[in-house]
Amino acid sequence: MSLAIKVPTVGESITEVTLASWKKKDGDRVEMDEVIAELESDKATFELTAEKAGTLKIVAAEGDVLAIGAVVANIEDGGAEAAVPAPAKEAAPAAQPQPEVVANAPAPAPVAAAPAASGSDSIEIKVPTVGESITEVTLSRWIKKDGEAVAMDEAIAELESDKATFELTAEKAGILKTLAKEGDVLPIGAVVCTIEGAGAATPAATPVTPAVVSATDESPQGGAAAESAKTYASGTPSPAAAKILAEKGVAAGSVAGTGVDGRITKGDALNAQAAPVKPATAPAAATPTTAPATATTSTGERSEKREKMTSLRKTVAKRLVSVKNETAMLTTFNEVDMQPIMELRAKYKDKFKEKHNVGLGFMSFFTKAVTEALKDWPAVGARIEGEEIVYSNFADISIAVSAPKGLVVPVIRNADSMSLAEIEKAIVVLAGKARENKLTIPEMTGGTFTITNGGVFGSMLSTPIINAPQSAILGMHNIIERPVAVNGQVVIRPMMYLALSYDHRIIDGRESVSFLVRVKQLLEDPARLLLGV
């Protein structure tokens, strides 16, 4: 009896995927939940697993574009024949000796080492599961080198996803054998390296491990002293510190760590960045004629640095280029007198925070003004799907947030039915998740209109790019006191430029300009937001 393996549902807006690669071959024996293929959508890459054990019969080929629910492969029963040899093979070589070798590694037990020599005393270190929406990571750098001895729980590599950077640690002590290279993109569960051997091989490879072993075997006083003097963390830089040291060309071994267990912190790296350069040029200054030439070539003023794009940056780049190529994007501008809102905030911000436990910012006013303007001009919040225009009777407002890994756009659901306080609270929660790289895919998809605030960085004017599949985006800018004419007199007012970029295929000039004028009216007379006029 065979079981059909189909393309699973991976998201509301995803209707098809591409079969990127097969992890198992046609006719291979597969176990239940074993990864058999890698599928790729326009938003993420994910793994396809076997739903039962058996023999794999491939139906689709690599590169095929498959609809959700399409059959990718079949798994046929072959359990009786294939299941018997498998345990026999595992029992003979090294499935059972592994825990014995780990347990006996620190102890002087040559008898336990003899069976280990006949087997392959090694374990595989795989990419761990780091989040629901993360399907692959990038191996940014190796902290330990191939062939080096590593201690249990020691950081051996640094992995990077589109949301966070984290360390990969050794699951046992032994000799590191690297399999993946720096810069490789690895799916969750992929083997990164193996750790071979344990106690016997470690002293021969490096003098560090005997120090740790002796700390265990010697007297309590000697062990405690050795442990406090040197641990596996000693001299290991944090990810931020490693990046700074690499940019400055400073070896980690020349920096004294002040962090926990001697780890090199970001502060240590910043303080050490100038130190290694000057001593290197100082001895060369013994010959006055050659010193200036050496100093000139080592300054690095014309140096170049290459960095691999993160997964998030690649996705953002692909989407932005797609929008520019596939939409008839146009931008219209206007300006807003911010004095009424600033006076309102100054008057009520303390009482507002006391009652609602959240600050009163500009973004809630702009969000509320946009939701009111969308009621009058619904085409601005519509989108094109094929040959149809989809209008929404709700307003899910996307707010652009600058996160550590790049720009993200979380969505405030049903913002049109929320109060200013509820909008402010939603913004605080989403912005906090963005800074901590904890936003989920559903929290960043499905918006009907986007607001971006370049003013927080000092931008005076810009033409924001539409956040597809939406049809419009409002750009806020910095507030500058400028002379303006009011009732025939020149006065100084805090003014802000607004920019509305829109898809001219669906939004006409009359609608775009009228929408922006409506937003301007609501902001310059905030009472309209409360009265709905």
Q: What letter would DSSP give residue 487?
A: T
Structure-token pair, residue 107: 């102890």
CA distance linking residue 53 with residue 332, whole number of Å? 60
Does 508 qualify as catalytic in the annotation? yes
Of residues 162, 376, 504, 525, which has the active-site annotation?
A: 504
Kindly provide the b/e burial profile for residues 447-479, where b requires at least 16 CB atoms within 10 angstroms of the residue's own CB. Answer: bbbbbbbbbeeebeebebbbbebbbbbbbbbbb
N-term to C-term CA, the chain: 68
Amino acid letter, residue 327: T
φ, ψ (nearest 5 deg) of residue 263 = -65, 145
Q: How far is CA 281 from CA 226, 247, 298, 299, in A?
A: 36, 18, 9, 10
Q: Which of 302, 321, 368 is nearest to 521 (CA)?
A: 368
Q: Which of 88, 169, 89 is nearest to 127 (CA)?
A: 169
Task: Label residue 343 exposed, middle or buried (CB < 10 Å: 0-12, 13-18, 19+).
Answer: exposed
Q: Which of 313, 489, 499, 339 is nearest to 405 (CA)?
A: 313
φ, ψ (nearest 5 deg) of residue 259 = -80, -170
Of residues 64, 337, 508, 525, which has the active-site annotation?
A: 508
Neighbours of 522 (CB within 10 A): 23
Composition of the chain by helix, strand, coil, percent to 5: 35, 25, 40
Please identify every residue annotated as catalytic. 504, 508
